[in-house]
């Protein structure tokens, strides 16, 4: 159950064979390192293995079952969180009492984590060690280098994990964005240099592997939103993912350019902007007004960002659709923009929400309604995967963060890019990266746990 000195293992308990709920283990010299500890939402407790398999037992918040590592928790030397998205950090407040080991992450993610821990009794108990981009740290027998990457949240990082048995480039979530709103542009030279480091395996995000070409920049999304909002005559409500602070900054700038006032409806939005301010990511000159005032403004001066892009019944957008939000009532000719994707499984919830707005003659705009990029993904398309494999030149490709079709296409891209070995598996499979690359299916028992919020 534990790796030897010559072994380098990768064992996902969540996030491989599915999108979300990431919980990854690396094993070497009798010790384990956990990378990310996330949740998924409105999901079955029994994962669907085929189209014929259905489950009606849904839970609002779900985590990977950590029983495998809990059975040998003394060998867990640390937890690393690559960024603050819920599918990478959301389970930590619930599962950490089972682990009780240090947590390593960057300042923004640490700020989000501390806010999550408020009121749980864990804030003073959990050792949170802040690291900076480019830092090198030792966690047990693992040596980690933090590499800045571009993604849809502040301070996303990839990791180089070095051991005496070999090294891994763990991409986490990423894309090649030459014009991000937050952080530095993607720097190819940094990743081209990895070819000189004899990388054993690249464990890589597969979310958009089925999409050809390159992903669209966040700056292009900002330009598209400016075009749409500039043309609007009445109130504008934009809904999206609260964690995309870059998108929120773009909307704040658009408010200034279009003579509107920006207000936020939803606690998660307030929390993200608060964390961005606390860590220096929110420009001081961009004003967000008190949401209590937005209902008194002229229609053409209102720009609101609201939670609930996936049709969540208790979120701000659903309350606006039902005409029962205490701070704002929408009227005919107002515009609701979905600056988001439809996460699989939420199609019906979102369709119902759109129908409610249409019944009240409130215009809605989703990505499929326009050729303008009113939403862009934070994940790499096929051409980006191809380039990164060619630059890094790993011996082994391990596709993760995707369903079976995404993983298979990621492996195909790696093969075409000259990576000699591709190991495709799912949660619970043991990926032996060194000394003899191979896959051990079903090595660890995996499952799902419901979380009470």
Q: What is the pLDDT of residues 359-399, one digit of tens each?
A: 999 999 999 999 999 999 999 999 999 999 999 999 999 99
CA–CA gap between residue 411 and residue 215 (Å, rounded) = 19
What is the token pair recorded at 286?
């961009």
| Best CA proximity match to 8, nearest among 335, 423, 323, 446 | 423
**R_g of the chain computed on alpha carbons:** 22
Given a cut of 90, whether residue 57 has pLDDT beyond it is no
Q: What is the pLDDT of residue 453?
A: 63
Residue with tokens 């502040």: 154
- Domain 8-213+378-450 sits in CATH at 3.60.15.10
Residue 52 confidence class, pLDDT cut points 50, 70, 90: very low
The beta-strand segments (E) located in 82-223 are 103-105, 128-130, 136-139, 142-148, 157-163, 166-170, 201-205
Give the CATH class of 218-369. Answer: alpha beta
Q: Are 62 and 15 in contact (CB under 8 A)?
A: no
What is the token pair recorded at 31?
């010790």
Q: Are 162 and 199 in contact (CB under 8 A)?
A: no
Q: Report angle CA 431, 47, 18 to the nearest 5 degrees.
A: 50
Q: Please indicate whether the domains covering 8-213+378-450 and 218-369 agree at the CATH topology level.
A: no
Is the peptide bond prior to 322 cis by the omega test (within 30 degrees of 0)? no
Q: Compute the mean pLDDT over every residue in the chain, rounded to the nearest whole number.
A: 95
Q: What percent of the chain has pLDDT over 70?
A: 98
Domain boundaries, the chain: 8-213+378-450, 218-369
Residue with tokens 């690393």: 80
Question: Residue 141: helix, strand or coil by DSSP?
Answer: coil
Residue 47 confidence class, pLDDT cut points 50, 70, 90: low
pTM above 0.85, yes or no: yes
Residue 60 confidence class, pLDDT cut points 50, 70, 90: confident
Q: What is the pLDDT of residue 225?
A: 98
Q: What is the pLDDT of residue 54?
A: 47
């Amino acid at each position: 159950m534990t790796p030897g000195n010559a072994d380098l293992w990768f064992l996902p308990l969540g996030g491989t064979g599915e999108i979300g709920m990431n919980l990854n283990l690396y094993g070497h010299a009798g010790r384990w390192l956990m990378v990310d500890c996330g949740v998924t939402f409105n999901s079955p407790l029994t994962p669907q293995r085929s189209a014929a398999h259905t489950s009606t037992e849904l839970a609002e918040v779900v985590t990977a079952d950590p029983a495998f590592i809990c059975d040998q928790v003394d060998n867990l030397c640390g937890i690393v969180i690559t960024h603050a998205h819920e599918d990478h950090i959301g389970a930590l407040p619930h599962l950490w009492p089972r682990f009780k080991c240090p947590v390593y992450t960057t300042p923004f993610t640490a700020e989000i984590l501390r806010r999550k821990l408020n009121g749980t009794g864990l804030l003073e108990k959990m050792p949170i060690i802040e690291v900076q981009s480019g830092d090198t740290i030792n966690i047990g027998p693992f040596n980690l280098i933090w590499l800045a990457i571009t993604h849809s949240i502040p301070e996303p990082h990839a990791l180089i994990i070095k051991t005496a048995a070999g090294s891994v480039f763990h991409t986490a979530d990423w894309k090649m964005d030459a014009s991000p709103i937050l952080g530095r542009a993607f720097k190819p030279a940094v990743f081209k240099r990895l070819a000189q480091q004899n990388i054993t395996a690249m464990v890589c995000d597969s979310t958009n592997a089925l999409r050809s070409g390159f992903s669209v920049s966040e700056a292009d999304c900002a330009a598209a939103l400016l075009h749409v909002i500039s043309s609007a005559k009445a109130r504008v409500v934009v809904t999206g993912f609260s964690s995309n602070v870059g998108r929120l900054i773009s909307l704040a700038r658009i408010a200034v350019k279009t003579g509107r006032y920006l207000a936020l409806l939803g606690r998660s939005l307030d929390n993200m902007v608060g964390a961005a301010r606390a860590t220096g990511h929110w420009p001081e000159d961009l004003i967000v007004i008190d949401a209590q005032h937005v209902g008194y403004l002229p229609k053409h001066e209102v720009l609101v960002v609201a939670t609930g892009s996936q049709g969540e019944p208790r979120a701000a957008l659903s309350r606006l659709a039902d005409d029962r939000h205490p701070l704002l009532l929408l009227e005919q000719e107002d515009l609701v923009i979905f600056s988001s994707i439809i996460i699989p499984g939420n199609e019906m919830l979102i369709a119902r929400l759109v129908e409610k707005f249409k019944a009240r003659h409130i215009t809605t705009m989703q990505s499929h309604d326009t050729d303008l990029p009113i939403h862009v993904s934070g994940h790499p398309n096929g051409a980006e995967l191809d380039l990164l494999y060619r630059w890094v030149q790993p011996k082994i490709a391990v596709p993760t963060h995707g369903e079976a079709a995404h993983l298979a296409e990621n492996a195909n891209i790696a093969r075409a890019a000259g990576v000699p070995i591709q190991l495709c598996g799912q949660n619970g499979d043991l990926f032996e990266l060194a000394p003899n690359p191979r896959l051990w299916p079903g090595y660890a028992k995996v499952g799902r746990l419901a979380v009470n919020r």
